[in-house]
Amino acid sequence: MKLAFALLFTACAAPDVAPPMAPVLASGPPLDAPEVSQLIFDAPGETPAPVEAAPLNVAPEVWLKGSTHVHAKPSGDSSEPIDDVIKWYEAHDYDFIALTDHNRVTEVDGVDTRGKVSVRDPGKGLIVLSGIELTHNPSGCLPQGDKSKKCRIHVNVLGVTARPVGKLEWAERKSHQRIDMYQAAIVAAKALGGAVVQINHPQWFWGMTATLLAELARRHTLLVEIANAQFLKWSNGDKDHPSMETIWDSVLQQGLTMWGVASDDAHDYEEHRHRKWPPGGGWVVVKARREPQAILDALAAGRFYASNGVVLDRADVDAGELVVEVGAGERGSYTTTWIENGKVVATVKGKSARRALPSSGYLRADVTRDDGKEAWVEPVRR
């Protein structure tokens, strides 16, 4: 009897740069996905024969610009057709977006009937990751926010595999505790087969605390918006409330994993109209192959930087040092601020900087241009 061996590979041989073409709708594996390889024996006790995998033509990793928080007409509070949303991001040189309509997994023309990966034109054009913004707007949450008592539990799920029809009902309506409401979103994310969970504009109406965000990190919510272009007032904090960066650092100091995201949370795209929620104010740039699953994997692993205007050529570790380099063609003057275990330990003027990783804890960097635009480099540990 012989061994039957089944091993699933994923590879992408697309070019690093492709002209705008039809989008690709894609999704990731469930949060608790099984192993993708398996051994099948015809009879017990036999020694498997060695099997050599065929060589793969794997495309190199490149920087890919994308938005993890995008709305279109199915959201109900946007008037923009899906195709026009896609055209806007293609015209502005994005490589991918996550379509995250309120309580809906929005279909894009070309998705296959299994809800896995679109076959429109794989490897070319704008990649559209399937997603949803789980949206719950109760009042009187605990811990309490501001005097309005408004509470906003908004959670993105990226790379979902399920395709529920219509509006999804998922919210926890019996408890007033924020953690219970967020937990309901985490459960819904798993049911949807979501690959990555993101907490959206967490300080809206001052609804987030360091203790709550740390507990969400323990429950494997990997992404948090530290800079939502529509909620800068809330992200930046004030004299009575910490900024999202401060809260994020408090989570990182506990040794927990959570990556900081910038997003535009776009709803309104037509330039000749007054745009309350315009596109383009925040994004992430991942280091990955130009392939949907590779992008989701990079987001989950923190292989990206967040930005609202600053372009980087490098943000990686070299010989035990975190190295940051601003794009060679970028104008302006720049300052890199090094944050080590929640404290500013140095600032460096210029378009490049490097610093040794600490013996314990983490190191991250903020790169600020003279016009106030920033890039946030994800935390790195030894």
In the chain, where do the E strands start and end?
4-7, 24-26, 37-40, 62-70, 96-99, 127-136, 153-158, 196-199, 223-228, 259-263, 283-288, 304-307, 312-318, 321-326, 334-340, 343-349, 352-356, 362-369, 374-381
Query: Per the structure, how many domains does the chain have?
Result: 2
- Between CA 306 and CA 266 the distance in angstroms is 16
Query: The domain spanning residue 368 has which CATH number?
Result: 2.60.40.3110
- Between CA 327 and CA 373 the distance in angstroms is 14
Number of H helices, E strands in the chain: 6, 19
- Between CA 154 and CA 223 the distance in angstroms is 13
Q: Select, from the ranges 100-109, 190-199, 227-236, the one with the highest average predicted confidence (pLDDT).
A: 190-199
pLDDT of residue 110: 58
Q: Are residues 90 and 135 in the same domain?
A: yes
177, exposed or middle or buried, with CB in 10 Å at 0-12, 13-18, 19+?
A: middle
Q: Are residues 188 and 200 in the same domain?
A: yes
Q: Are residues 112 and 131 in the same domain?
A: yes
Choice between 243 and 7, residue whose per-residue pLDDT is larger: 243
Residues 46-55 have pLDDT tens digits of: 444 455 554 5
Residue 281 contacts residue 308 (beta carbons within 8 Å): yes
Q: Are residues 112 and 238 in the same domain?
A: yes
Range 178-184 average pLDDT? 98
> What rounded mean pLDDT belongs to the chain?
85
pLDDT of residue 58: 74
Residues 222-235 have pLDDT tens digits of: 999 999 999 888 88
Residue 75 contacts residue 66 (beta carbons within 8 Å): no
The lowest-confidence range among 84-88, 107-111, 348-352 is 107-111
Residue 156 contacts residue 189 (beta carbons within 8 Å): no
Q: Are residues 350 and 365 in the same domain?
A: yes
70, exposed or middle or buried, with CB in 10 Å at 0-12, 13-18, 19+?
A: buried
Does residue 25 carry a pLDDT above 50?
yes
pLDDT of residue 277: 82
Q: Are residues 336 and 265 in the same domain?
A: no
Query: The domain spanning residue 160 has which CATH number?
Result: 3.20.20.140
pLDDT of residue 296: 96
- Fill in the DSSP letter of residue 74: G
Residue 218 contacts residue 210 (beta carbons within 8 Å): no
Last residue of a domain, one of 274, 308, 342: 308
The lowest-confidence range among 77-86, 127-136, 371-380 is 77-86
Residue 223 contacts residue 198 (beta carbons within 8 Å): yes
Does residue 29 carry a pLDDT above 50?
no
Range 151-162 average pLDDT? 96
Q: Are residues 186 and 222 in the same domain?
A: yes
Q: Are residues 202 and 292 in the same domain?
A: yes
Does residue 36 carry a pLDDT above 70?
no
- Between CA 131 and CA 225 the distance in angstroms is 16
Q: Which of 249, 243, 261 is nearest to 361 (CA)?
A: 249
Last residue of a domain, one of 308, 336, 359: 308
Measured CA to CA in angstroms, residue 271 lies from 75, 80, 191, 275, 276 at distances of 20, 12, 38, 7, 11
Q: Are residues 216 and 328 in the same domain?
A: no
Residue 262 contacts residue 67 (beta carbons within 8 Å): no
Last residue of a domain, one of 278, 308, 338: 308
Q: Which of 225, 369, 364, 198 is nearest to 283 (CA)?
A: 225
pLDDT of residue 79: 85
Interhelix angle for 210-218 vs 244-252, to 10°?
50
Q: Which of 245, 248, 380, 258 is nearest to 316 (CA)?
A: 380
pLDDT of residue 362: 98
pLDDT of residue 253: 98
Which tokens go with 107?
Answer: 């279909």
Q: 334-340 and 362-369 as β-strands: parallel, antiparallel, unpaired?
A: antiparallel
Q: pTM, whole model, 2 decimals? A: 0.83
pLDDT above 70 coverage of the chain, percent: 80
Q: Are residues 208 and 342 in the same domain?
A: no
Q: Are residues 9 and 87 in the same domain?
A: yes
**Domain hosting residue 163, numbered range:** 4-308
Q: Are residues 304 and 315 in the same domain?
A: no
- Between CA 134 and CA 199 the distance in angstroms is 10
pLDDT of residue 355: 98
